[in-house]
C-alpha cells in the first residue's frame, strides 16, 4: 500500500523551479553585450609562437553597457600590441619606458582605480583585462597580440591557450599553424573542456614539417544545454609536439639576416651524478608539506640511476647527515634511504646556511677522498619553505657563503615550497651557482611537482657546453656558454648575421661527457634556409629577428639577478632598449591603454613579477619602488609580507546584489507514516563485462588482500593494471594502468589522476574535464568524474572516484572481446576458459564458476552500474568474492 504524502510537502517543492527560472531569466537579460566573433590565431614558426586574439562585441541593450575583454596568456609571453576599435576609431596601446607610465599608474591607484590590467592567475598564466563603455547598438573590436619562445620540457614543446568566452559565440575559431623545418616527430592535443560533441569541431592535419589544428564549434556544440547561452568552453587547450633530431651539432635556421641554433642531440648516454638532497624539516614544514615531501623523496629515490651516488641532509635548527659520505645506488641503500625519508618529521627553526655549507663540504670531502666517479656531475637540490631563522640569517651573507664554498664546482637547484619563502633569495643563490629556482605550489599535487622537477635534472648529458661561430659571419649572439645539458631539454642560441656573411653558416659545439671532451659540428646554407621560410601561411614577417630580441631580453633579465650592481645597470639598459624597439611589455616597460574621451582615465598594462616573499604578482613598476630586491640587490628579507595572487582557499562572499538563497523548513513525518527505507543498492568495486553475445556482467568483491595486486595483464594488448584494495572501505586505494603503445602510465587515487608520458607528469582533479588523443589511445574524463581509457581494438578501461562513502575508486571494463588468450591476473583470469555450473538443488540465482582450477560461488544480485558515469543505473550481475 502506498503511503499518502501530505499536500503541503509537495507544494513547497514545486515553488523552487519557478523561482530558479525567474532568477536565470533575469540574469540572462542583465547585460546586453554580445560576443559575435572570437578568434585565436596562433602561428608557431621554429618554436616561436605569435598569437593574435580578436574579439568583436555588440551592445544589444537600449542603454550604454560595459564591455570587458579578458584573456589569459602564458607567463613567459610578452604582450606586443593591444588595440580597441570603437565606432571606426582605433585606440591603441602604447608601450613606453616604465618610468614614463609610473606617474599615470600611481595617480590611478591614489584615486582608488584598478589601473593594472595584467595579473597572474595561477602557475603558468597571466590575465589581461580591460573594459570600455559601449553605446547602444555600437560595436567594439578588441585585439591582443603576444609572443613567446616555446621551451622544450621533458621532451616536448607546449603551446597553451585559454578558452573562456563565458557565452556562446556565433563565430568562434582557434586556428593554429606550426612550421618546423627539422620535421615534426609527434603531435598531440589535449583539452580540459572537450566533449565527444565538441571533438567533431576539431580537425588536426600534419605532414613532415607542418601541422594545422582548427577548432571551430557551432553554437549548438558550445551550449551546455539547448536554448541556453551558457557555454561548455571554459578551460585549457594544449598542443604538444616535438621535432626530429639526430646525434649532431643541432639545427641552424636562418631568416632575414638572423639565425637561431637549436641543440639537443639524440642518443647521448646519461652521465652518472652525485646528488645531495638538502631537506628543510623545520616546524613550518609540518602537516601536508612534510607529508608530500616524504612521498616525493621516496619516489625520487626509486628513480636514481644505477651509476649515481647520493646522500640526504635534513635541517631545522640543527643539521643532520643521513650517511657520513655519499653512497652508491643499490637496492639496500635505496631501501634504507626510503625508511629514513619516511621518518622525517617537522620541528624547529631554519638553519639554511649551515645546511648548505654541510652539503658542499660533503661533496668536497668525498671528491678529495676519490669516492666520486671520475667524469660524474655533482648536484645539490635544496627544498625549503621559509626564511633562515637560526645561525646566519642575513640572506646576502648566506648567498656569498654558498657561492664561495661551491666555487663553480657544483650546480645548485633551489625549490621554494609555498609562498612564505623568499623566492628572490633562492633564485639568486641558484643562478649564482649554475642552477635554477622553482616554486612548488601548495596543492594536492605538490609531491608531483617535486618529482617533475627531479626528472628535469635526473639525466645530465653534457657539461661546460660552448657554441662557436665564425667571426666573419656572425655579428652578435645571445648566451653561448652553458653549464649543463639535461635529457629532454634544449639549448638555444640566436644571433644576427653580418651584412656580407658567407653563403654557409657553420657552428662548432664543444662540451664534456664522462671523462672526455666532445665536439659537434653543423652547418646550414643561408640561401636555402631563407627560401624555406617564405610560406606566408605558416610564418609571420621577421619572426627570427623578434625571436632573437625575445631571447636576448629574457636572458638579460635573468642575468640581472646574479650580476653586480654595475653589470645589472648595463643589462637593464640593453633589455629596456630592446623592449622598446620591438614593442614588448616586459618588467622594464609599460603599455598605456587609451580610451574614448569622457571614460575612465588611461590604464597601464605591466608585466607582473614575483616578489621575493610570497609570490604576489604585482606590477613591476610598483615593485621597483616598494620591493627593490626584485630588480636590484637589497635584502629580499626586508620586503613586506603580502597576499599571494595564486588562490589559497576559496571564500564565499555575499553582497546586497547576491541572489537570495531560499531554505526549506525540515518536515518530520508522524511516526505512523514513517517508512522503512531499504538499504541502497551499492556499486561493486569491479565491474567486468564478460565476452560473448550475452554481454553478461561480473561484479567482483575483494575480501582478502591489502597488498598491491596484479589485476590484469595482457601482453598482446600491451596493457597492465595494478592496484591496492582497501577491504574496510570496499574500494581501491589506488589503481594504475600502463600502456606499452603509446607508452603511457595512468595512476589514479581518490585525490587525482596522474598521467605520465616521457617522464612528464600531468595531474588532473576528478570531475575536471579532460580530452586527450594520442596515437592509439584516447583519454577522456567528463564532469561526472568518469575517466575512460580507450582506443582502436583495445579494451576500454574506466575509473571512477567515489565521493562518499570512503572516497575510493571503482574499476570498470568493457569491450573485453579484445582481450587475447594470454590475459592473466586476478581479474584477467575471468577472460580465460570459464565454466559455469549450477549447484545441485540451487535456484537460477546461484552458479559455480570454475576458473583455472578454482571454484567461485556466484550469486545474482542488483548492483549500480557506473559505465556511463553517476548517478548510475541498476543492473543485474553475477557477484563473486575473491
pLDDT digits (tens, 9 = 90+) for 525-541: 988 888 887 765 666 77
Binning the chain into helix, strand and coil, the percentages to the nearest 5 are 20, 40, 40
In the CATH hierarchy, which fold is given to the domain comprising 33-242+581-607? Immunoglobulin-like (2.60.40)
Residue 876 half-sphere exposure, CB side, CA atoms within 13 Å?
A: 6
Q: Per-residue b/e over 622-645, b at no fewer than 16 CB within 10 Å? A: bbbeebbbbbebebbbebeeeebb
pTM for the full predicted model: 0.80
Say yes or no to pLDDT of 652 above 50. Answer: no
Alpha helices in 272-388 (DSSP H): 288-302, 331-342, 352-368
Q: Where are the domains of the chain?
A: 33-242+581-607, 251-268+462-579, 286-457, 686-881
pLDDT in tens, 313-334: 999 999 999 999 999 999 999 9
Report the 10 Å Cβ neighbour count for 774.
21
Q: Determine if residue 542 is left, alpha or beta; phi over 0 gives left, psi from -120 to 50 gives alpha, anything else beta.
A: left
| Dihedral (CA of 213, 218, 221, 225) sign | positive
Q: What are phi and psi of 502, to 5 degrees?
A: -60, 165
Which residue's entry shows cell 593554429?
A: 176
Q: What are phi and psi of 851, to 5 degrees?
A: -130, 115
Report the 10 Å Cβ neighbour count for 230.
14
State the average pLDDT for the chain.
83
| Dihedral (CA of 402, 404, 410, 413) sign | positive
What's the rounded Cα separation, in Å, for the pair 631 and 761? Answer: 33
Q: Report CA-CA distances (Å) from 144 to 53, 173, 661.
A: 5, 15, 39
Say yes or no to pLDDT of 570 above 60. Answer: yes
**How is the beta sheet containing 516-525 ordered, strand by strand?**
481-486, 460-468, 504-513, 516-525
Name the CATH superfamily for 286-457. von Willebrand factor, type A domain (3.40.50.410)
**Is residue 111 very low, low, confident or very high in pLDDT (cuts 50, 70, 90)?**
low
Is 286-457 the same fold as 33-242+581-607? no
| Dihedral (CA of 55, 59, 64, 68) sign | negative
Asked whether 262 and 492 are in contact (CB, 8 A), the reply is: yes
pLDDT in tens, 820-831: 989 999 999 888
- Return the percentage of the chain with pLDDT > 70, whole number: 83
The predicted pLDDT at position 277 comes to 96
Three-state DSSP string of 632-683 = CCCCHHHCCCCCCCCCCCCCCCCCCCCCCCCCCCCCCCCHHHCCCCCCCCCC
Say yes or no to pLDDT of 631 above 50. Answer: no
The predicted pLDDT at position 224 comes to 84
Q: Domain 251-268+462-579 belongs to what architecture?
A: Sandwich (2.60)
Asked whether 604 and 108 are in contact (CB, 8 A), the reply is: yes
Amino acid at each position: 500500500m502506498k503511503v499518502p504524502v501530505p499536500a503541503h510537502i509537495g507544494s513547497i517543492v514545486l515553488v523552487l523551479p519557478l523561482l530558479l527560472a525567474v532568477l536565470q531569466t533575469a540574469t540572462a537579460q542583465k547585460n546586453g553585450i554580445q560576443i559575435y566573433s572570437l578568434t585565436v590565431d596562433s602561428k608557431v614558426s621554429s618554436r616561436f609562437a605569435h598569437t593574435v586574439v580578436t574579439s568583436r562585441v555588440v551592445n544589444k541593450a537600449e542603454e550604454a553597457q560595459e564591455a570587458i575583454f579578458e584573456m589569459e596568456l602564458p607567463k613567459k609571453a610578452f604582450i606586443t600590441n593591444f588595440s580597441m576599435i570603437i565606432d571606426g576609431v582605433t585606440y591603441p596601446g602604447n608601450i613606453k619606458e616604465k618610468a614614463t607610465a609610473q606617474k599615470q599608474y600611481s595617480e590611478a591607484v591614489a584615486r582608488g582605480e584598478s589601473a593594472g590590467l595584467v595579473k597572474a592567475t595561477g602557475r603558468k598564466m597571466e590575465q589581461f583585462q580591460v573594459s570600455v563603455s559601449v553605446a547602444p547598438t555600437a560595436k567594439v573590436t578588441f585585439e591582443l597580440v603576444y609572443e613567446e619562445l616555446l621551451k622544450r620540457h621533458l621532451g616536448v614543446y607546449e603551446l597553451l591557450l585559454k578558452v573562456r568566452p563565458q557565452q556562446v559565440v556565433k563565430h568562434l575559431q582557434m586556428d593554429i599553424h606550426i612550421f618546423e623545418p627539422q620535421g615534426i616527430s609527434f603531435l598531440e592535443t589535449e583539452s580540459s573542456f572537450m566533449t565527444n560533441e565538441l571533438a567533431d569541431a576539431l580537425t588536426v592535419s600534419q605532414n613532415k614539417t607542418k601541422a594545422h589544428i582548427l577548432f571551430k564549434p557551432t553554437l549548438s556544440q558550445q551550449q551546455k544545454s539547448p536554448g541556453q547561452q551558457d557555454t561548455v568552453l571554459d578551460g585549457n587547450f594544449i598542443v604538444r609536439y616535438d621535432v626530429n633530431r639526430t646525434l649532431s651539432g643541432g639545427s641552424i635556421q636562418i631568416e632575414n639576416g638572423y639565425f637561431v641554433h637549436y641543440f639537443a642531440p639524440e642518443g647521448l648516454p646519461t652521465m652518472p651524478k652525485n646528488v645531495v638532497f638538502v631537506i628543510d624539516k623545520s616546524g613550518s614544514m609540518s602537516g601536508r608539506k612534510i607529508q608530500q615531501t616524504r612521498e616525493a623523496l621516496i619516489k625520487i629515490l626509486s628513480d636514481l640511476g644505477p651509476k649515481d651516488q647520493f646522500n640526504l641532509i635534513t635541517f631545522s635548527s640543527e643539521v643532520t647527515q643521513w650517511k657520513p659520505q655519499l653512497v652508491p645506488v643499490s637496492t639496500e641503500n635505496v631501501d634504507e634511504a626510503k625508511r629514513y625519508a619516511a621518518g622525517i618529521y617537522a620541528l624547529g627553526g631554519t638553519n639554511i646556511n649551515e645546511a648548505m655549507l654541510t652539503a658542499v663540504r660533503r661533496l668536497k670531502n668525498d671528491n678529495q677522498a676519490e669516492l666520486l666517479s671520475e667524469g660524474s656531475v655533482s648536484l645539490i637540490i635544496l627544498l625549503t619553505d621559509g626564511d633562515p631563522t637560526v645561525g646566519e640569517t642575513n640572506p646576502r651573507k648566506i648567498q656569498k657563503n654558498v657561492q664561495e664554498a661551491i666555487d663553480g664546482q657544483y650546480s645548485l637547484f633551489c625549490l621554494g615550497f609555498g609562498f612564505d619563502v623568499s623566492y628572490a633569495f633562492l633564485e639568486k643563490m641558484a643562478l649564482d651557482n649554475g642552477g635554477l629556482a622553482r616554486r612548488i605550489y601548495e596543492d594536492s599535487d605538490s609531491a608531483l611537482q617535486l618529482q617533475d622537477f627531479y626528472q628535469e635534472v635526473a639525466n645530465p648529458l653534457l657539461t661546460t657546453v660552448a657554441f662557436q661561430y665564425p667571426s666573419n659571419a656572425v655579428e652578435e649572439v645571445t648566451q653561448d656558454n652553458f653549464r649543463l645539458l639535461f635529457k629532454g631539454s634544449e639549448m638555444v642560441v640566436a644571433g644576427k648575421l653580418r651584412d656580407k656573411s658567407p653563403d654557409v653558416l657553420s657552428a662548432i659545439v664543444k662540451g664534456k661527457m664522462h671523462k672526455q671532451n666532445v665536439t659537434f659540428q653543423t652547418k646550414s646554407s643561408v640561401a636555402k634556409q631563407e627560401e624555406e621560410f617564405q610560406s606566408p601561411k605558416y610564418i609571420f614577417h621577421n619572426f627570427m629577428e623578434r625571436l632573437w630580441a625575445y631571447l636576448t631580453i629574457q636572458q638579460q633579465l635573468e642575468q640581472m639577478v646574479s650580476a653586480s650592481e654595475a653589470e645589472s645597470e648595463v643589462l637593464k639598459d640593453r633589455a629596456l632598449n630592446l623592449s622598446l624597439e620591438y614593442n614588448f611589455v616586459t618588467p622594464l616597460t609599460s603599455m598605456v591603454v587609451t580610451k574614448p574621451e569622457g571614460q575612465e582615465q588611461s590604464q597601464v598594462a605591466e608585466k607582473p613579477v614575483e616578489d621575493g616573499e610570497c609570490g604576489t604578482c604585482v606590477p613591476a613598476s610598483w615593485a621597483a619602488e616598494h620591493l627593490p630586491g626584485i630588480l636590484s640587490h637589497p635584502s629580499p628579507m626586508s620586503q613586506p609580507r603580502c597576499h599571494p595572487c595564486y588562490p589559497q582557499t576559496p571564500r564565499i562572499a555575499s553582497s546586497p546584489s547576491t541572489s537570495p538563497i531560499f531554505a526549506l523548513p525540515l518536515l518530520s513525518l508522524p511516526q505512523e507514516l514513517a517508512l522503512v527505507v531499504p538499504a541502497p543498492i551499492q556499486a561493486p568495486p569491479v565491474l567486468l563485462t564478460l565476452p560473448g553475445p550475452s554481454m553478461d556482467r561480473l561484479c567482483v568483491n575483494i575480501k582478502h588482500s591489502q597488498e598491491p595486486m596484479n589485476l590484469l595483464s595482457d601482453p598482446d594488448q600491451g596493457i597492465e593494471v595494478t592496484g591496492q584494495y582497501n577491504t574496510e572501505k570496499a574500494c581501491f586505494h589506488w589503481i594504475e594502468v600502463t600502456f606499452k603503445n603509446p607508452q603511457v602510465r595512468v595512476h589514479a587515487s581518490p585525490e587525482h589522476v596522474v598521467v605520465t608520458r616521457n617522464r612528464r607528469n600531468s595531474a588532473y582533479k576528478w570531475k575536471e574535464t579532460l580530452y586527450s588523443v594520442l596515437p592509439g589511445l584516447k583519454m577522456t574524463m567528463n564532469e561526472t568524474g568518469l575517466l575512460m581509457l580507450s582506443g582502436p581494438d583495445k579494451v576500454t578501461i574506466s575509473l571512477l572516484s567515489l565521493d562518499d562513502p570512503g572516497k575510493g575508486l571503482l574499476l570498470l571494463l568493457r569491450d573485453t572481446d579484445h582481450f587475447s588468450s594470454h590475459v592473466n591476473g586476478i581479474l584477467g583470469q575471468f577472460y580465460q576458459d570459464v565454466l559455469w555450473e549450477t549447484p545441485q538443488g540451487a535456484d537460477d540465482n546461484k552458479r559455480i564458476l570454475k576458473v583455472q582450477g578454482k571454484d567461485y560461488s556466484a550469486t545474482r544480485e542488483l548492483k549500480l552500474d557506473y559505465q556511463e558515469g553517476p548517478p548510475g543505473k541498476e543492473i543485474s550481475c553475477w557477484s563473486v568474492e575473491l
